[in-house]
Amino acid sequence: MYLEMKKSELSNTEFFDYTLSSGTKCYIIPRNGFKTSQACVVVDYGSADIAFSSEGNMYLSPSGTAHFIEHRMFEKKEHSFFSEFSSSGAYCNAFTDHRRTAYYFSCSNNFYDNLKRLLKMVSEPYFDDEGIKSEREIIKREIAMCNDQANWRVYYNMLKVMYRKKPLKVNIAGTENSLEKITPEILYNCFKSFYTASNMSIICTGDISPKKVAEIAESITFPTNPTAIKYYPSDEKRRAGDFIKERMGVNEPVFSLGFHYRDFTPGLKSTYAFRMAFELIAGTGSALYSKLFMKMMLFEPLGWNLMFSKDFCTGIITGKSRQAILISNMIIDEAERILYKGISDSEFLRLKKMMLGRFLRGFNSIDALCMAQAELSYFKADMWDAEEAIITITKEYVEDILETAFSREDAVLSVVE
């Protein structure tokens, strides 16, 4: 059993990577002295993965299938894993986004038993008509809850304008219509196509033994059949527009300013460079933010997120203001101005210190560490790679990213008021 170990001098932490004989990648981060331990299984299958081919056949699954599987995985024919986790003192949960599904638990006792439990749970599906019927009602309530949230609506409206054909513009949970089309056969087929050994990763953090984790992971094998091939519509040459507004009657309008990065595949380093570019232009330490705050055009910091998968890459700036259009133009103008002026060495150093500090702080929370590694598993990277990426990032690299990060022609503004 070969456990590759890397040591970080910065965080004084050892990272262990292990590839199971089935092909599943295992990332283990021991953190001695913590009472909580956490484990997560990530499946490279999300809401946008509705079209795929498996065993020579093409399939188009209803929207919300990945999320539906996530909801049902805790319940089996004779027992509930949810109840079992709870009885052993563990907290468990799961989530689905556009490109992945993740199942996790945290506990202060019985970690190895719960790890076995988690791995068994995600390898043994059980779907029946009765379970699907009751889950459908619960998910409909979830959709209704999300539809009442301005942040949710502003984001999906932006996606609808930015991507006319892509499935990611549909709610992760699906729609009331698409839920009606889900059957046990569809769920089994999607499970078989994507819940495969090479398509899943295991992450464990806490006061744990890497050797023991690897032994347990080796003892429960995920299915080793080939993973389905995903298909996505080709990238549109023309967007539906660049602005969309919806009235919800909220007291304070919310906005999402999205940038579509066509033909761009993000790597680990570029995700950090995008963050630095945003902080420089419109982050809390920027002259622009200070101006917007003192003029009372903003009352809280803007948010930044880079969303991506094999099918798309979008940078999103979010905020709350009655002057979304003006602020969006000011952000784009500021990006152009700084690009022209260049980034000073002192500004770059300040931002790099900020990134390193944030990275280090992530080690203080078992949950944050586990989720950060879960995110990195997409790049087949670990926390050591992430640390290297931040340390070796250069000013020139950030300037390259800045050239196309906030371009007017790639921008779509969505407002909900």
Partner 1 sequence: MDGLKTFFNNSYTLNILKTDKFTTSSISLFFTVPSAQKCTSKMNVLSNALKSGCNRFPSVSSINRRLQEMYGAVFDIYTFKKGSSQVLALYFEFSGGISELQKAVKFICCVLFDPCVKNGVFSEKLTASSKNAAVKNLRTANDDKAFYALSRCEEEISKCSKKNSAFGMCPLGYENEIKEITSSSLYNFYKRTVCSFPCDIYYSGPHDEKKVKEIFLKNFIFPGTQSKISSWENLEFSSDESKSIVKKSDMEQSQLCIGYTFSNADIYSMLLFNEILGGCSDSMLFKNVREEKGLCYSISSKLYINSSAFIIQCGIEKSEFLKTEEAIDKTLSDIMSGSLSDDIVEKAKNSLSQHYLTLSDSMDGLSGFLYACRIMDLNESPESFVKNIDDIPKNKISQTASNVKKRLTFFLEGR
Give the integer Cα–Cα distance in Å for 333 and 330. Answer: 5
Shortest distance, position 395 Cβ to partner 1, whole Å: 16
Chain residues binding partner 1 by CB under 8 A are 11, 33-36, 82-83, 86-89, 91-93, 107-108, 134, 137-139, 141-142, 144-145, 147-150, 248-252, 279, 283-287, 289-290, 293-294, 296, 299-300, 320, 350-351, 353-358, 360-361, 363-366
Give the integer Cα–Cα distance in Å for 232 and 163. Answer: 12
Give the integer Cα–Cα distance in Å for 157 and 136. Answer: 24
Shortest distance, position 294 Cβ to partner 1, whole Å: 6
Q: Which is nearer to partner 1, 131 or 184 (CB)?
A: 131
Shortest distance, position 303 Cβ to partner 1, whole Å: 13
Give the H or E element holding residue 231.
strand 229-231
- Judging by DSSP bridges, how do beta strands 91-96 and 57-60 pair with one another? unpaired
Shortest distance, position 127 Cβ to partner 1, whole Å: 16
Q: How many CA atoms lie within 13 A of 286 on its CB side?
A: 21
Residue 404 φ/ψ region, left for φ over 0, alpha for ψ in the -120 to 50 degree band, beta for the rest? alpha
Shortest distance, position 201 Cβ to partner 1, whole Å: 24
Q: Which is nearer to partner 1, 52 or 359 (CB)?
A: 359
Q: Which is nearer to partner 1, 11 or 63 (CB)?
A: 11
Residue 103 φ/ψ region, left for φ over 0, alpha for ψ in the -120 to 50 degree band, beta for the rest? beta
Q: Which is nearer to partner 1, 178 or 201 (CB)?
A: 178
| Segments in 6-64 forming alpha helices (H) | none
Q: Which is nearer to partner 1, 52 or 85 (CB)?
A: 85
Q: Which is nearer to partner 1, 94 or 332 (CB)?
A: 94
Q: Which is nearer to partner 1, 3 or 360 (CB)?
A: 360
Q: How many CA atoms lie within 13 A of 159 on its CB side?
A: 21
Q: Which amino acid is at 364?
A: N
Give the integer Cα–Cα distance in Å for 128 and 330. Answer: 54
Nearest to 213 by CA among 39, 6, 36, 31: 39
Give the integer Cα–Cα distance in Å for 160 and 169. Answer: 5
Shortest distance, position 125 Cβ to partner 1, whole Å: 19
Give the integer Cα–Cα distance in Å for 120 and 305. Answer: 33
Shortest distance, position 145 Cβ to partner 1, whole Å: 5
Q: Which is nearer to partner 1, 20 or 273 (CB)?
A: 273
Shortest distance, position 334 Cβ to partner 1, whole Å: 13
Helix (H, G, I), strand (E, B) or coil at 47: coil
